[in-house]
Structure 1
C-alpha cells in the first residue's frame, strides 16, 4: 500500500478573481506580473513559471498585507484567477482588493468557506488521476526553489480522501524558505525582508502597484538590512506561532526579528523548524533566542536558494 500523500490544509484559503478586466486589475495591484499566465483547465495542475507565480500585496508604504500563489484557470466560458492565501486573512484581502475595483469589470470572491483546500506531497503525474473534476490546483515551486519535495495545493467543493498528517506538509513549507504572510505578520515586512524577490515573487520590470516605489528603492539602494532565515529550536511547536519575537542576548531591550512560519520537526518531535525574519548583522551570531533574550536558543540552517543581490 502506498503511503498517503494528501492532507487538508485548514490554514489555507482561496480567492477567485473573475471578469474581463481581471488581468489589468491584478497587474496594478500585485508585486508580480500576471500578464501572460497560461490558463490551466479545471481539474489540471498549473505548474512552471508560465502558469504559476508567487506574488505579494503591499500597503502604500511597501509592507506586505498578503502573499499568494496565483494561477489562471478556465472552465467553459469562465476564466478566473485563483489566489491561494492564508485563510485567516483571505476575507480582509478580498475586501481590500474590492475597494479598488471601481468601474472595472472584475468580481472578487473569497470562497474559503465553500472550497476546501488540500496539500499533496507528490508528483503531478501521480496526483492527477485522483484530482476531483472541479479541482483548482497548482504546483508550488518558485524559479529559485531547489527543494526536491513536490508541493501541490488544490481546492475542491468535493470531499477528498486526505490521510497525510498536515505536519509533514507544514514542515515541507517551512523548509522551502518561501514565506507565507498570515494575519499576525501583516504590515510587518517589505518583500525583501522575507526574501520574496529571491523566490520569484517580485517583478521589478512591471508597472506600478501599491508600495512599488518603496520596494524598488529598497532593492536598488541597498537598503535591505533584514532577511528571512531558516532555523530550529528545542521547544513545543504550539508555543511558537508566527510573529513570536526573536531577541539577541546582547541586546535584550528590543527584538531582532520575528517568526514568519513554524512547524514541528518531522524527525524529532522535541524540535521545531522555523522561518525567521531577522537583522542580517545579528543572524549569524549564534546568540538569538525565542521570546526573550534568555529564551530557547535558535540554531540557524541553510536556505535552499541564493539571495538576489543588486
Structure 2
C-alpha cells in the first residue's frame, strides 16, 4: 500500500499558479553540428531521433525528452539530467539542453568539454545566466498554461499522489526576461515532495559516483537504452543488467520527526549494524504533514526482507517503506 498523502480535491487551488523558483537546478547547453553524435557517445540514453522543440513549445513525452545519465568509466553515475533538443529556430543547428542539479552543472560541463576534441561541439554551463522554475498543476489546468515563448520548456512525467495525477513543467528563461515567480517556501515544498514521490532519482554532488544506474532504478524509468552504442561505463552497466549483479534498488520511504535529511545520509540495518545498508538519494519534507519526511533511498534488497532500516546510525529513526509508482524491470 502506498502511504503517499492524499491531495485535496481543490488542489492546486489556482489554475494560474505562478511557477516556483528552483535554485537547486542548473542547465547545460550542448550545441553544434556534431552535438547529437557527441552526446550519443557520452550518455546512457539514446540521443538520435529526439524531436526538435521549437521556441515557445514544450518538450514532452519520450519523443521529446529523455532522462539520461552520465557515467564514469567504472559505470557509476556522475550526473543525471533531463535532455531535450531546443534549436533557436526551424533552420537552426542542433542545441541540446540538460536540466541538471546546479551543484554538479559546472563540473559536468567541464568533463563533457574534455571529450569534445575536434568535434564541432560547444558545451556551456548557463546555470548562473538563466532562471529555472517549476510549475505543477492538474492535467486539465495544464491546458491553460502558457510557457514563456523565449524560454526552454520541458515536461516531466506526471506524479500520482493519492488519487490525483499531477503534471509538472521545468522552465528556463534569461534572468532579464523572467516572469514573476512564487518564492514562497510552501510551493517549493510541494514541488520537492512531488519529485521524491515520482521515484525518479536526481544525482547531486553528495551522491556522485555512488550508483550504477540500475541501483537507483534508472532502467525502470527509461533512463538507459541497452541497444545504443558505447558510452563511458557502458560495459559495466550492460553486465550488471544481463548477469543479474544488482542486489540494491531505489525505494520510496518516509520517516517521522527527523531533522533535516540530506542526500548521501547513510542507512543501517538492525541485523548488520557494522556497515551501511544504503543511503538517501533525495528527501523532502511533506507539505501535508510537517512531521513527515519523504525519501528516495538506495538500499540492499535483503535489508527489506526482515528487521528495521535506520536513518543515519543504528539507533536512528526507523524508516517506513512505501510503494514505488512503477514496476521494476527484472534484472
TM-score normalised to the size of structure 2?
Answer: 0.89
Give the structure 1 partner of residue 217 of structure 2: 195
1:163-242 correspondence to structure 2 within 5 Å: 163=182, 165-236=187-258, 238=260, 240-242=261-263
Give the structure 2 partner of residue 292 of structure 1: 313
Counterpart Cα distance in 2 of 1:257 and 1:126: 42
1:94 paired with 2:109, answer yes
Count of matched residue pairs? 305
- CA shift for structure 1 position 6: 1.5
> Could you list the per-position Cα deviations for residues 155-186 of structure 1 after superposition, in whole angstroms to 9, with x for gaps in the alignment?
01122222262110000000000000000000
- CA shift for structure 1 position 285: 2.7
Q: Which stretch shows the higher mean deviation, 30-39 or 76-85? A: 76-85
CA contact (8 A) 1:233 1:271 kept: yes
Q: 2:39 aligns with which of 14, 17, 26?
A: 26
- Structure 1 gap ranges (5+): none
Q: 1:17 aligns with which of 30, 41, 52?
A: 30
Aligned with 2:326: secondary structure? coil
- CA shift for structure 1 position 205: 0.2
CA contact (8 A) 2:33 2:93 kept: no
Counterpart Cα distance in 2 of 1:27 and 1:78: 16
Counterpart Cα distance in 1 of 2:58 and 2:99: 14
Give the structure 2 partner of residue 161 of structure 1: 180
Runs of 4+ in 1 over 3 A off after TM superposition: none
Q: 1:282 aligns with which of 260, 280, 303?
A: 303
CA contact (8 A) 2:258 2:317 kept: no
- Structure 2 gap ranges (5+): 1-12
Counterpart Cα distance in 1 of 2:303 and 2:249: 11
> Could you list the per-position Cα deviations for residues 221-272 of structure 1 after superposition, in whole angstroms to 9, with x for gaps in the alignment?
000100000000013452x100000000121111000000000012110110
Counterpart Cα distance in 2 of 1:193 and 1:110: 28
Distance change (3 Å), C-alpha of 1:177 and 1:111: same
Aligned with 2:144: secondary structure? helix
Give the structure 1 partner of residue 150 of structure 2: 134
Distance change (3 Å), C-alpha of 1:71 and 1:234: same
- CA shift for structure 1 position 286: 4.8
| RMSD (Å) for aligned C-alpha atoms | 1.5
Aligned with 1:17: secondary structure? strand
Counterpart Cα distance in 1 of 2:152 and 2:259: 31
Distance change (3 Å), C-alpha of 1:274 and 1:286: farther
- CA shift for structure 1 position 193: 0.2
1:2 paired with 2:17, answer no
Counterpart Cα distance in 1 of 2:109 and 2:23: 18
CA contact (8 A) 2:270 2:307 kept: no
